[in-house]
Amino acid sequence: EDQVTQSPEALRLQEGESSSLNCSYTVSGLRGLFWYRQDPGKGPEFLFTLYSAGEEKEKERLKATLTKKESFLHITAPKPEDSATYLCAVQASGAGSYQLTFGKGTKLSVIP
């Protein structure tokens, strides 16, 4: 069974204080790992797709990396508007595989 574990559950940072969120996964074969951002009362918003170990993607203050067992979402010099819950999901490989398995998320709060 595919599993995704995110840590920490919650993270409070001062504005400008860089940190990383962790996503550990177990999947029979990885087709892709995905990061989403979810603001309160809204649906998740797609951020990144990572397909293979060693791959990195960047967007503004966010950088996602992938190894064979985990992914990190690095946040550099965060701003209050980065406050949200960050979700990690995996998609297994295999014919007809379309289902995403999500972690519970990390709730990030950036304090001015």
Does 24 participate in binding another protein (rule CB under 8 A)? no
Strand stretches in the chain, DSSP E: 3-7, 10-14, 19-26, 30-38, 45-50, 56-59, 62-66, 70-75, 84-92, 100-102, 106-111
Q: Is 34 in the site for another protein (CB under 8 A)?
A: yes
Stretch that binds another protein, among 15-23, 53-61, 75-83, 96-104 (CB under 8 A): 96-104
Only one of the segments 11-19, 36-44, 58-66, 67-75 lies at the binding site for another protein (rule: CB under 8 A); that segment is 36-44
Q: Is 87 in the site for another protein (CB under 8 A)?
A: yes
Which tokens belong to 32? 């892709």
Which residues lie near another protein (CB under 8 A)? 4, 31-32, 34, 36, 41-46, 49, 87, 89, 91, 96-105
